[in-house]
Amino acid sequence: MSDVFVSYKKEDFPIAERIVHSLRAQGLSVWWDENLTARSAWDAELEREISAAAAVVVLWTPRSVESEWVRTEAHYASEHGKLIPVMLETCTIPLAFLLRQTVNLSAWHAEADHRHWRKLLAWIGDLTAARSAPSGRAPHGAATPVNAFRATVDHLASGDPVVEGSFVNTSTPAGTAFRDGGGLPILRIVPAGAFLLGSPPTDPDRSVAEGPQKRIEIPVPFAIGVFPVLVSEYEAVMGEARTAEAPRAGSRGWWIFRSRAAPAPPAPATTVRNPSGPVTNVSFHEVQAFVTGLSVRTSESYRVPSEAEWEYACRSGSRARYCFGDMIDLTMAVFGRNAGPVPPGSCAPNAFGLFDMHGNVREWTADLWHESYDATPLDGSPALEGHGAMRVVRGGGWSDSAAMLRSAARMRATESMGTSLIGFRVVRALS
């Protein structure tokens, strides 16, 4: 049973051989068709070996893209979650694989420290680890499988390693923390799954906007911020001028669905921003500008989470009122204060290893406000049909009551306004 099956066109034998020898030099077992003998039943042996391998590396060149056999092996590998596409020469990748993450080795000359070569090794390492641990999910507190090909670039205060983001992929185990550059947000991978969006009629604090409950399928893993975006992270992308402003006139121009909620308190009377605190007083439009800038800076796909993704990440498998259970107190979240937010991470994380999902700052989501979940898609994408200038905000903030911190609690805010109660966290795609 090999770690890697290499699929290639015979005319590309010299470079395929170089890749095979380099993979074996890293201690990986590799099968390629040089192993076939004249007496082999080719179809049967190829099928057996590609099925047994943890990863299938398909080498794309102008010649292999025309090969029906290479395409067939790529389709099989894709359907079984083990495909790693590698571009050896500039070519037009077959349409079925255009949207897949591809390792570009067109400028690789067998250098052991080449960035894209290391990316390939890390991806293979994820798939070989997944073969040993089929669930691919490591709850918070449990060690994620060690990948010898992925370097640690930082550590969380908990001691959890933070790895380089360019080496994560759709096969990287859930629970892995990473960042795409110094001073940028740290994210964790959360697994695909399903959950029940909203609150049940038995919840004494339920509002009519928290229903009807709806089963949501999160089809693929995604990465979400371990913390709300910090002032320092916002400044790293957008510059210092915006975050040094005093709260703007009209910054209280927001609304909460719950009619008995108290008005928002004024922002703390200071223009000095704590770099380790959550950024606030940012409108939804400014948040969109931030994720666009972050995407350009990192060449990755960042966005604001949908409401469904946010609640899924917050619940982290819990069906209770809060991710910790049906009760919450000041040791679990920051709320009921009159002095503004605190640096994230002062309370324990949820089961996905995410901090401050309850309290500290409310968080923008991508969804337009609707009075119910009737318009909410079943696949976790945001509800964007209709017109309006109100977006859903989640999580409750530093001055809110415990009821507004519930996993299902929904609030709304005018997207052009910013307040000292609202911040945000980011999501990044893995493919």
CATH number at residue 422: 3.90.1580.10
Is the same domain home to 157 and 61?
A: no
> How many structural domains compose the chain?
2
Residue 374 contacts by C-beta under 8 Å, 6 or more apart in sequence? 212
Give the number of other Cβ atoms within 10 Å of residue 244's Cβ.
12
CA distances from 332 to 177, 340, 404 (A): 22, 17, 14
Is the same domain home to 127 and 147?
A: no
Is the same domain home to 38 and 162?
A: no
Q: Nearest to residue 268, comparing CAs of 425, 423, 421?
A: 421
CA distances from 301 to 47, 100, 141, 213 (A): 35, 13, 28, 30
Residue 59 contacts by C-beta under 8 Å, 6 or more apart in sequence? 6, 7, 8, 9, 12, 15, 16, 19, 86, 88
Residue 272 confidence (pLDDT): 56
Residue labelled with tokens 């994720």: 291
Is the same domain home to 112 and 208?
A: no
Last residue of a domain, one of 132, 152, 168: 132
Is the same domain home to 207 and 271?
A: yes
Is the same domain home to 115 and 194?
A: no
Is the same domain home to 288 and 325?
A: yes
Q: How far apart are CA 99 and CA 67, in angstroms?
A: 20
The answer to whether position 137 is within a domain reads: no
Q: Nearest to residue 19, comparing CAs of 48, 52, 61?
A: 61
Q: What is the DSSP letter of 24?
A: H
Structure tokens at 336: 């009921």
Q: How many residues does the chain have?
A: 431
Three-state SS annotation for 294-318? HHHHHCCCEECCCHHHHHHHHHCCC
Is the same domain home to 36 and 167?
A: no
pLDDT in tens, the chain (431 residues): 899 999 999 999 999 999 999 999 999 999 998 766 555 556 777 888 999 999 999 999 999 999 999 999 999 999 999 999 999 999 999 988 987 889 999 999 999 999 999 999 999 999 998 887 655 445 555 566 778 899 899 999 989 999 999 999 989 999 999 999 999 999 999 999 999 999 999 999 999 999 999 999 999 999 999 999 999 999 999 986 455 443 443 333 333 444 334 444 444 433 457 999 999 999 999 999 999 999 999 999 999 999 999 999 999 999 999 999 999 999 999 999 998 999 999 999 999 999 999 999 999 999 999 999 999 999 999 999 887 899 999 999 999 999 999 999 999 999 999 999 999 999 999 97
Residue 165 confidence (pLDDT): 95
Residue 139 confidence (pLDDT): 53
Domain that holds residue 126: 4-132
231 neighbors 218 (Cβ within 8 angstroms): no
CATH number at residue 65: 3.40.50.10140
The answer to whether position 138 is within a domain reads: no
Label residues 182-193 b or e (16+ Cβ within 10 Å = b). Answer: eebbbbbbbbbb
Is the same domain home to 32 and 161?
A: no
